[in-house]
Amino acid sequence: MATLRDIVVVDYGMGNLRSVKQALLHVALANTRISVSENAEQIANADAVVFPGQGAARACMKALNSIEGLHEAVINSAQNKPFLGICMGMQVLMTHSQENDGTDCLNLFAGEVNAFAKQPIWKPEHKIPQMGWNQINQTQSHPLWHSIEDKSRFYFVHSYFVSPQDKNMIAGETDFGLNYCSAIAQGSLFAIQAHPEKSANAGLQLLRNFCAWNGE
């Protein structure tokens, strides 16, 4: 009998958890169990972790810090096992966000989360938030891009974007008034600004790739 693979979706009260879980169930291999949990021990014991999110950075950090052990469990998982960050679950991996007049984040990676509208080269004809379909230019080869054509379209909803200090970790870029980082990858971690659970075939393929990924 194949070994059971346990994937946990982090529940901190923010994010489209049902859609994420249903999308994972749709693409996961038969030996995979998909759970949604806020329990730090369950997350720590998972084989892989999905960290979704939507809303504001300050509310996200407050929620992470209000549940016993959750902050540490997320950081440890991001450092030690296959880990997928989605939307806000990507942004709060950085050091700091401009949102809510400035919010300290998890500081897993040095970098800033910037507002589109505050950029000097911003084109005001682009309406904020970016809401809808846009292309991702794959800037590095990665197992999670397997069978996804370069410049495939994904679904976005956001007003802020990440700017990691280490540009080598950028795995995808998108143009929306400026060219910005829309995916990052380092070690066993991958994070994407778009919502793969809402991104039709390309998004489902990315989730399928994650479910099969051993982090290498």
Catalytic residue set: 87, 195, 197
Buried b (16+ CB within 10 A) or exposed e, 98-128: bbeeebebbebbebbbbebeeeeeeeeeeee
- For the chain, 216 residues long, give each residue's pLDDT as a single digit of tens: 457 889 999 998 776 788 999 999 999 988 999 999 999 999 999 999 999 987 788 888 888 888 889 999 999 999 999 999 999 999 999 999 998 888 899 999 999 999 988 887 767 677 888 889 999 999 999 999 999 999 999 999 999 999 999 999 999 999 998 899 999 999 999 999 999 999 999 999 999 999 999 988
Domain range summary for the chain, segments of one domain joined by +: 5-212
Whole-structure pTM value: 0.94
Fold classification of 5-212 is Rossmann fold (3.40.50)
